[in-house]
Amino acid sequence: MSGTFTERDVQAMRVLDGEFQRDVLEKLGRLEAKMDMLVGNGQPGRMKLAEDRLFALEKNDVRRTVIERVINATIAVMISAAIALHGHWWK
Protein backbone atom coordinates (compact mmCIF):
# COMPACT_ATOMS: atom_id res chain seq x y z
CA MET A 1 0.00 0.00 0.00
CA SER A 2 1.41 3.35 -0.96
CA GLY A 3 -0.37 5.40 1.70
CA THR A 4 -3.33 6.51 -0.38
CA PHE A 5 -6.82 5.44 0.48
CA THR A 6 -9.46 4.38 -1.96
CA GLU A 7 -13.04 5.59 -1.70
CA ARG A 8 -13.95 2.18 -0.30
CA ASP A 9 -11.33 2.54 2.47
CA VAL A 10 -12.65 5.98 3.35
CA GLN A 11 -16.23 4.65 3.54
CA ALA A 12 -15.12 1.78 5.81
CA MET A 13 -13.33 4.22 8.13
CA ARG A 14 -16.44 6.42 8.30
CA VAL A 15 -18.56 3.41 9.29
CA LEU A 16 -16.04 2.41 11.95
CA ASP A 17 -15.83 6.00 13.16
CA GLY A 18 -19.63 6.24 13.41
CA GLU A 19 -19.79 2.97 15.37
CA PHE A 20 -17.06 4.20 17.69
CA GLN A 21 -18.90 7.48 18.29
CA ARG A 22 -22.15 5.61 19.06
CA ASP A 23 -20.32 3.32 21.50
CA VAL A 24 -18.69 6.27 23.24
CA LEU A 25 -21.97 8.19 23.51
CA GLU A 26 -23.79 5.11 24.82
CA LYS A 27 -21.13 4.52 27.48
CA LEU A 28 -21.14 8.19 28.39
CA GLY A 29 -24.92 8.08 28.82
CA ARG A 30 -24.65 5.05 31.12
CA LEU A 31 -21.90 6.76 33.11
CA GLU A 32 -24.03 9.89 33.50
CA ALA A 33 -26.98 7.80 34.71
CA LYS A 34 -24.80 6.03 37.27
CA MET A 35 -23.34 9.32 38.50
CA ASP A 36 -26.86 10.76 38.91
CA MET A 37 -27.84 7.66 40.87
CA LEU A 38 -24.80 7.97 43.16
CA VAL A 39 -24.73 11.71 43.70
CA GLY A 40 -28.40 12.46 43.22
CA ASN A 41 -30.19 14.53 40.65
CA GLY A 42 -31.98 17.17 42.68
CA GLN A 43 -32.69 14.63 45.42
CA PRO A 44 -30.52 12.61 47.78
CA GLY A 45 -28.40 10.08 45.93
CA ARG A 46 -26.94 6.87 47.26
CA MET A 47 -23.80 8.60 48.55
CA LYS A 48 -25.84 11.10 50.57
CA LEU A 49 -28.01 8.32 51.98
CA ALA A 50 -24.92 6.27 52.87
CA GLU A 51 -23.33 9.30 54.57
CA ASP A 52 -26.52 9.88 56.58
CA ARG A 53 -26.61 6.25 57.70
CA LEU A 54 -22.94 6.35 58.65
CA PHE A 55 -23.47 9.53 60.67
CA ALA A 56 -26.40 7.92 62.53
CA LEU A 57 -24.32 4.82 63.28
CA GLU A 58 -21.41 6.92 64.57
CA LYS A 59 -23.75 8.96 66.76
CA ASN A 60 -25.33 5.78 68.14
CA ASP A 61 -21.89 4.25 68.73
CA VAL A 62 -20.74 7.30 70.72
CA ARG A 63 -23.92 7.24 72.82
CA ARG A 64 -23.54 3.50 73.48
CA THR A 65 -19.87 3.95 74.42
CA VAL A 66 -20.75 6.64 76.96
CA ILE A 67 -23.49 4.48 78.49
CA GLU A 68 -21.14 1.47 78.66
CA ARG A 69 -18.47 3.56 80.39
CA VAL A 70 -20.96 4.83 82.97
CA ILE A 71 -22.17 1.28 83.65
CA ASN A 72 -18.60 -0.03 83.91
CA ALA A 73 -17.65 2.80 86.28
CA THR A 74 -20.72 2.09 88.45
CA ILE A 75 -19.88 -1.60 88.63
CA ALA A 76 -16.24 -0.81 89.48
CA VAL A 77 -17.30 1.58 92.26
CA MET A 78 -19.73 -0.99 93.69
CA ILE A 79 -17.08 -3.72 93.66
CA SER A 80 -14.52 -1.39 95.24
CA ALA A 81 -17.01 -0.37 97.92
CA ALA A 82 -17.88 -4.01 98.61
CA ILE A 83 -14.20 -4.89 98.97
CA ALA A 84 -13.52 -1.86 101.19
CA LEU A 85 -16.54 -2.53 103.42
CA HIS A 86 -16.10 -6.32 103.47
CA GLY A 87 -14.49 -6.26 106.90
CA HIS A 88 -17.24 -4.07 108.34
CA TRP A 89 -20.15 -6.19 107.15
CA TRP A 90 -18.93 -9.64 108.14
CA LYS A 91 -17.27 -9.73 111.54
Going by C-alpha positions, the residue among 37, 19, 39, 15 that lies closest to residue 27 is: 19
pLDDT tens-place string over residues 45-81: 777 888 889 999 998 888 899 999 999 999 999 999 9
**Residue 31: pLDDT band by 50, 70, 90 thresholds?**
very high
Most confident by average pLDDT, 5-19, 32-46, 65-79: 65-79
Given a contact cutoff of 8 angstroms between Cβ atoms, the answer to whether 76 and 67 are in contact is: no
Q: In this predicted model, which residue has the larger pLDDT, 21 or 90? A: 21
